[in-house]
Amino acid sequence: MQNPSVFGHIRDLTPLAAAAHAKGALLVVVVTEALSLGALMPPGAMGADIVVAEGQSIGNGLNFGGPYVGLLATREKYMRQMPGRLCGETVDADGKRGWVLTLSTREQHIRREKATSNICTNAGLCALAFTVHMSLLGETGLTQLAQLNHAKASQLVEKLKAVPGVRVLNDSFFNEVTLVLPKDAAAVVEALAAKRILAGVPASRLWPDHVELANHLLVAVTETVTDDDMDALVAGLKEVLP
């Protein structure tokens, strides 16, 4: 397990966990970008009882809105209440390490009337891709990948600060930032797309009823973004902004 002492945190959840436990409640933490946990203290180390996350960015490429792969972790005493199939480590007849379905009695093919989940083949493929990717990365690789994502995002932010009229809204970030532009963000995205530059996602696409967000642009930076990509975005913004 990762040593929590080598990681930082944006928000210390320890007091919240203590307050919840004092009232007999559980602390459930939601992580929208699992890759960030390579650079942050794990919620479990701060007292979380249940952690859910989205792991799409690890091994699963987006294709017109999907696929996604949800992650669920809990403490051992709540393990039997988890939905889905639970795989456990064992050894075969030759003493070699293997993996088997330890708990699947909640599945519809065993006790249909009491099943709490229905895991389909497509979901299994997404989980397999995630598992293969994580196995290849390992703990050290995950940490380095998270650091690389944040470093590249910080590099782009510094470049964007030099663009007249562009303001970075975030005080803290991992690998995504929100920009405030001097004109409609959707129009800027279209103009840059014509120059073969994928600028980001206008906030108006996600929240169309909020006109006050019309000039907000969401930009993500991953390990695949190069210096040339950053320079192209900066140059493109300078051309299309007033």
Burial group, residue 136, by CB count within 10 angstroms (0-12, 13-18, 19+): exposed
136 secondary structure, DSSP code: H
> What integer pLDDT is reported at residue 46 of this predicted model?
95
Report whether 17 contacts 46 (CB < 8 A). yes
> What integer pLDDT is reported at residue 83 of this predicted model?
72
Topology of domain 161-240 in CATH is: Aspartate Aminotransferase, domain 1 (3.90.1150)
- 3-class SS at 70? strand
Mean pLDDT value across residues 55-68: 81
> What integer pLDDT is reported at residue 234 of this predicted model?
96
Label residue 88 by pLDDT band (50, 70, 90): confident
**Poorest-pLDDT segment among 87-91, 96-100, 124-128:** 124-128
Phi, psi angle pair for 224, to nearest 5°: -85, -10
Label residue 6 by pLDDT band (50, 70, 90): very low
* HSE (side-chain half, CA atoms, 13 Å) at 122: 3
Break the chain into its structural domains and give their ranges: 4-84+119-142, 161-240
The CATH class given to the 4-84+119-142 domain equals alpha beta
Percent of the chain with pLDDT over 90: 65
- Tokens (6 digits) for 181: 């532009």
What pLDDT, in 10s, does the model give residues 107-149? Answer: 555 566 666 665 555 677 888 889 999 999 999 999 999 999 9
> What integer pLDDT is reported at residue 128 of this predicted model?
87
What span, in angstroms and rounded, lies between the C-alpha atoms of 116 and 167? 47
> What integer pLDDT is reported at residue 1 of this predicted model?
35
